[in-house]
Structures are given as C-alpha cells and as structure tokens.
Amino acid sequence: MSRLGTLGARLYRGEVGYDFVGKRMLWYGISILITITAVVGLAVRGLNMGIEFSGGAVFTTPKSSLSVSEAKSVAQSASGGHSAIVQRLGHDSLRIQISDLDTKEAQPVQEALAKEMHVAPSKINTQLVGPSWGEEIANKAWKGLAIFMILVVIYLAIAFEWRMALAALVALIHDLTITVGVYALVGFEVSPGTVIGLLTILGYSLYDTVVVFDGLKEASKDITKQSRHTYSELANRSLNSTLVRSINTTVVALLPVAALLFIGGGLLGAGMLNDISLALFVGLAAGAYSSIFIATPLVAELKEREPRMRALAQRVRAKRASAAAKAEDAAAPPDPADDGPGQAETAAAGVAGRGGSAARPS
C-alpha cells in the first residue's frame, strides 16, 4: 500500500487527524478575506460581459496573414473607437468581436477588414447579436440558479437536516462569489460557456459536502447515548476519514481543466476555452476548500448550540477530567508522610527478631 493509502486508512480509523473543526475561526477568517477581495474586484472592475449578453457583432475572416494587433487596430478604427477582441482561430482565420455594435456600425468594419485583407466583403462572415437575446439568456440563467438552490436546500433538509442544508447553501454562495470575483479581477469575458461552468461547479461543490454529511449522520445517530466524543469531534473524524478521497478526486478533476486553461487557452491561444475552463478551475478549487473548511465546521458549530449537545459536551469534559484525575493519582509516588505511626517500629522489630534468632544456639 502506498503512503497516501496508508495515511487514508489511518485517517479513516481515527488514528491520526487534523483538527479542522477546532480551528474553524481561522478558516472563516481566510474565507472572509478572499470573499471581500472578490467582492471589491467585482465592484471596482465589474464583469466583462460578452456580446451574448451585451449585444454586438462578431466578424470571422478567411485565412489571412493579418496579425492580431493589426486586425484589432483596423476594427477599432472602423467602428469609431469601440473596443475589439481578436482571437486567432484554426487555419489562420481571425475572430473579431465588438460589443455594442448595431447593423449600421458593423458594415464599415466589415468593409475595412475586407479591404485590409484584399478580399471581397462577402468573405467576411458577420453575425449580429441583439442585447435583448443576451438579457433573456441571463434571466434564464439566474432563474435556473435560483431553482437549483431551492431544490438543493429542500433535498438536504429532508435527507439530513436544516443545519446541513444551511451550511451547504453557505458553501455554494461562497464558491460562486469567489468564482465571479476572480472573473472580474482577471478580466476574462463572461460568455454562455461561463454560465455553464458556474452551474457545473455547483454540483461538484456539493459532492464532497454530501459525502461528509452522510458519514456524519451515521456517526452521530446515537451520539447522546455515549460520553466519549462531542459532536464537533465526531464531525472532525468524519471529515478526516474522507479527506484523502476529497483530495484525490479534486486533483483528478483539476488536471484536465488546468490543461484546458493553461495549455489550450494560454499556450495554444484558444481563448474561447478560457470562458468555461476558468470557471471550472476556480470553482472546483473553491468547492473543495468550502467542503472541508466551511461546510462541516459550520454544521458542527450550529449543532453544538443545541441544549442536548451542550449537555453532551459537559458530560464528555466531566468524564475526561475524572479520568485525568485518576490517572494523576495512580502515577503519583507514595508519600512517606502517609505511613501509619507503628510501621517504622514494626519494621525495626522484625529486623531485630531476625537477628536474635540467628544468634541463638541450635
């Protein structure tokens, strides 16, 4: 068995473990700091909405030796100063995207690109997207997200309890906020692929959380009938027992997404892959973090406020204090001052008696 497998087995048996629940205030502080950074980035920079949401025009050129910078300069000049996003596609064709561009404004751009590339204007494929279509897509995405959240909370409240449902909801909002904030800070374009990525990570974010909650539910079924562990300790043990599996599944899921983001979108220049890959990469990482450091500690904190869990914690502390006192008494050396008053004399008489019997003739 590998070292990682051995560690996983020891974590599962409770032989080793890290106190995630006990240090929850540290994790809360880190999450709050990251979330504030994301919100500030979102408020200051905002989201770079694609033409699918803001409206505009997309020009696709045939094979051309025109560079990306040259095409960008021509498109921005012909559009009257509108910002243009240029991407090189396969077979040396170009994709030029300009937001907030109507039909009349798109015609000069098409003609200018055709003139620069020495082709007929009809060779430049032009697609116009109205802002109303983008608003419809955005509204449907928000409705889908709201319905998803409601169904998740209802399911978790029925399958587990409302505290676990609340903790899972907080973890989901945490993941979404961080992902959207990173998009604002990086400046990547928000496209329908981004929405797909955001909706995808929600399910994955819940995966590890539900696995831990299921183990915790089984472990705490008759928790008040014992006095060895508090609820927080059982929650921490359940979390440690699934820790290695959570790490393995997260790493395996991040590897192909990282390949899309850093190799496909970065090195190879397939910029359209960035839309969905960045959302998946940040969301998967944030989901793994929230499942371990946010959801389970929050459930433990909410449960510890119950009267019966507070009574259990008091019993556990009293039992441990009693056991510690007994162990301390057993380990303490005997005190000579506690000997009986006649023990010294009896010992001396015994010694004298043995000496006298040895001196008598046989």
Q: What is the mean pLDDT of residues 258-272?
A: 67
pLDDT number for residue 28: 92
Q: Can you tell me the distance from the alpha carbon of 218 to that of 238, in angstroms, rounded to the nearest whole number?
A: 10
User: Could you tell me the pLDDT band of residue 11, with boundaries at 50, 70 and 90?
Assistant: low
Q: CATH topology for 3-49+133-314?
A: Multidrug efflux transporter AcrB transmembrane fold (1.20.1640)
Average pLDDT of the chain is 79
Encode 49-70: b = buried (16+ Cβ within 10 Å), e = exposed: bbbbbbbbbbbebeebebeeee
Q: Which residue has the higher pLDDT, 49 or 285?
A: 285
Residue 347 has pLDDT above 50, yes or no: no
Domain ranges of the chain: 3-49+133-314, 56-129
Residue 278 has pLDDT above 60, yes or no: yes
As a three-state string, the secondary structure of 250-306 is HHHHHHHHHHHHHHHHHHCCCCCHHHHHHHHHHHHHHHHHHHHHHHHHHHHHHHCCC
How many residues would you count in the chain? 362
The arrangement of secondary structure in 56-129, i.e. its CATH architecture, is 2-Layer Sandwich (3.30)
pLDDT, one tens digit per residue, over 314-342 is: 988 888 888 888 887 787 776 555 555 54
User: Could you tell me the pLDDT band of residue 361, with boundaries at 50, 70 and 90?
Assistant: very low
pLDDT, one tens digit per residue, over 111-123 is: 888 888 888 888 8
pLDDT number for residue 356: 45
Q: What is the mean pLDDT of residues 217-225?
A: 84
pLDDT number for residue 354: 47
Residue 295 and residue 159 in contact, taking contact as beta carbons nearer than 8 Å? no
User: Could you tell me the pLDDT band of residue 7, with boundaries at 50, 70 and 90?
Assistant: low
User: Could you tell me the pLDDT band of residue 64, with boundaries at 50, 70 and 90?
Assistant: confident
Q: Of 25, 22, 5, 4, which Cα lies nearest the Cα of 237?
A: 22
Residue 298 has pLDDT above 90, yes or no: yes
